[in-house]
Amino acid sequence: MSLPGVEGLMWSSPDADGVITCNCDVGAVSTLRGRRKRRGARQSRSDVQLWPASWCELLKDWLKQGSGDRRKWDALLKIVGGHRVHDAMNLLESLLKAGFIEVEEIKSSNQWKTLWVEFIDLEDMRELIGLSNRDKLQKQREGHSESIFQNNELQCLHETLANMPADRAIRRHDILIALDRWMADDNNGTRRDFALYARGDTKAITNSEWDWLENKLSLEDIGISRHTSSVWLRAPLLLTTDDGHLDLHAIPDCIGLTPNTIKSVIGISGEIKSWRILENRTVFERVARDRGHVDGVLWVPGFAPSWWKSSVAHILKLCPAPAFIACDPDPAGIEIAIDICDIWLANELEWTPWCMDSKSLSGLPKRKKLTEDDLSRLERLRMLSLPGILQDLIGWMMANGEKGEQEGISFNELCADSLSQGIEQYLKVLRIPLYDFPDVILHATETSVKKHPRYKEAKAGDSEAAFELVQATINDEQVEKLRILLNGRKPLLASAHAYEAEGVNAIPEVFADELAQRLDLVVDSGIIQTNVVAHTGANGFGRLARQPVFEGSVAPEQDYVLVDDFVGMGGTLANLRGYIEAQGGKVIGAVTLTGKPYSAKLSLDETQLQELREKHGTNLETWWQENFGHAFDCLTQSEARYLARSSDVDTIRDRIVAAKQKGDGGCV
């Protein structure tokens, strides 16, 4: 039998131990003279099961080191150490007889000494003693390279696997697969919960693996916390589950409810005027003690993780109320506030920043300098359409280079004040009678606008989509009609910057820009809506209950034309007109992209006003003036008609209150 790699060398027949030998000093290759090679004639895998545990551990130590099949015997002996030399010699002989190695020996002083040890089928040997088979791992790794995850944020972690050893990459790939399922199922729990979910053992994920995950992901955001997550709150409410009741009235300060506890709640009874959300834990606890018997008070742990948002959304669905959101008067605080307000917008409920204004910040006894990161955040924020109070705060921070924390703000006094002046204040708007106000100029049918393929994107804040929509639906005849109405006057165009559940409506501003270009006018972007009313899709009671409020500079004696995307009952246009004229401006007309044809008439005629007063009497008008700040003569024609068609006074009041609290006026 020829020796592989050395031409002309032959192997002997097996000896009594089944070992074959090749004498390398035969032939012309001088470098091989005085050497021989030996190996087992056949491989006996069953022998390994009979070896002492110490031999297997020693073999693992040898095979863990290096990757080549061929090793120097002296190097292997160094790994052994002096106390295991006897085991090493016995193991070498057993490996040889079992056919797992080939040894190369040299004759010195009439004795054969081992020079090299070559492992035959190294990866199979590793697998036999409990180590990983690296060939199989590599194939498995190659199969993982094209993995597709349901959650795109895991892709950045998947890309890091390419630079890892195969066994580590495979272990971590398995973590990502489990994490993808965890996120898809919207699970939440502790790190130990996830480790059990992923690997069947609460401690099976190592610290280095947690560090790897945390380097790319916010674990809190995907429902994995160091300890059991809790929503901290206080509220005068009774929570009902299938198993019983949890009476929060009995809580003197605050309580933490786990997401699973909140998910089990099927009903909430009790009444609150508002939810108050605070970022600082100490301030939250103080306000919870002082106001939690009247209002719902929630702690938001910085940038709200998904489990917190879903838990609060569930609470809000069962106990809807407007929100006061109080975060630090700094760039990050603004980002937190506009992130969590989406929960209220999704439920068509009002929200307002609370103590996040320039006055609160400038009045703090101690402020901090803005960092470079703060300035970058402010630059991004100032490009957004935000409530005026936040725009003012951004301007103050940029002008003064300072920010603050809410610990220095006295929330106790502000809580008492806001109970009488807070959310209720939004209902009292500036209105003046609309006598002889010209009909709103409508450009397109409601169907052509709302069925446009980019309508929803435009409504959610996409300016390019809004541009395409306006270009497709603007009407040249109606533009000319506006030109005739102006009769040579050069008014400013004031568009309604409305906040919708999906984002900031981009249509009014883009529509105003197009009109300005065609009529050589100027758009005034300084007047903005300061609250969220979520009128899109709302019925009449929802629109009446949630009145838009405006703020911003008005040029005295200046003519204005109002621009909006839609006129329903005309309340937004009426309120915007009232605000401008109360500040000294003069509104000479209004134009919308679409609307109900009958809603184009804002001016309330005497017949409709008389019908309303005769049907519902003075009690309703008195209540209306107390709650909305104006009498029936300031209503639009559509608002008055809607109220006149309602069955009775109690129905109107109940529906208005319900719409204010729930964000939905219900069905007439």
CATH number at residue 414: 3.40.1360.10
Residue 519 is encoded by which pair of tokens? 């009529």
- The Cα–Cα gap between 26 and 12 comes to 13
pLDDT, tens digit, 9 for 90 and up, residues 322-336: 999 999 999 999 999
Same domain, 375 and 449: no
Same domain, 159 and 240: no
Does any domain span residue 417? yes
Q: Report the b/e string of 83-120 with b at 16+ CB within 10 A.
A: ebeebbeebbebbbbbbbbbbbbbeeeeeeebebbebe
Does any domain span residue 540? yes
Same domain, 211 and 93: no
Domain that holds residue 314: 231-425
Residue 169 is encoded by which pair of tokens? 């990459």
pLDDT, tens digit, 9 for 90 and up, residues 515-557: 999 999 999 987 877 776 655 556 778 788 778 888 888 999 9
Please tell me the predicted confidence (pLDDT) of residue 46: 81
Helices (H) and strands (E) in the chain, counts: 28, 27
Please tell me the predicted confidence (pLDDT) of residue 45: 81
- The Cα–Cα gap between 343 and 275 comes to 12
- The Cα–Cα gap between 204 and 194 comes to 10
Same domain, 592 and 578: yes
Does any domain span residue 436? no
Same domain, 23 and 93: yes
Same domain, 248 and 388: yes
Q: Which of 370, 390, 425 is the last residue of a domain?
A: 425
Please tell me the predicted confidence (pLDDT) of residue 535: 58
Same domain, 371 and 472: no
Same domain, 266 and 352: yes
Between helix 306-318 and helix 331-346 the angle, nearest 10°, is 40
Mark residue 445 as left, alpha or beta (left: phi above 0; alpha: psi -120 to 50; beta: remaining). beta
Please tell me the predicted confidence (pLDDT) of residue 667: 28
Please tell me the predicted confidence (pLDDT) of residue 151: 83
Q: Which of 549, 580, 600 is the last residue of a domain?
A: 600
Same domain, 169 and 286: no
Same domain, 277 and 159: no
Does any domain span residue 432? no
Q: Which residues of the chain have pLDDT under 50?
A: 1-7, 28, 416-427, 501-502, 663-668
Closest Cα partner for 278 from 220, 391, 381, 355? Answer: 355
- The Cα–Cα gap between 470 and 458 comes to 10
Number of domains in the chain: 5
Please tell me the predicted confidence (pLDDT) of residue 350: 85
Q: Based on the number of CB atoms within 10 Å of its own CB, is 553 exposed (0-12), middle (13-18) or buried (19 or more)?
A: exposed
Does any domain span residue 667? no
Please tell me the predicted confidence (pLDDT) of residue 504: 67
Does any domain span residue 668? no
pTM over 0.85: no
Same domain, 282 and 213: no
Same domain, 257 and 406: yes
Does any domain span residue 640? yes
- The Cα–Cα gap between 538 and 663 comes to 8
Q: Which of 194, 225, 256 is the last residue of a domain?
A: 225
- The Cα–Cα gap between 427 and 273 comes to 14
Please tell me the predicted confidence (pLDDT) of residue 28: 47
Does any domain span residue 623? yes
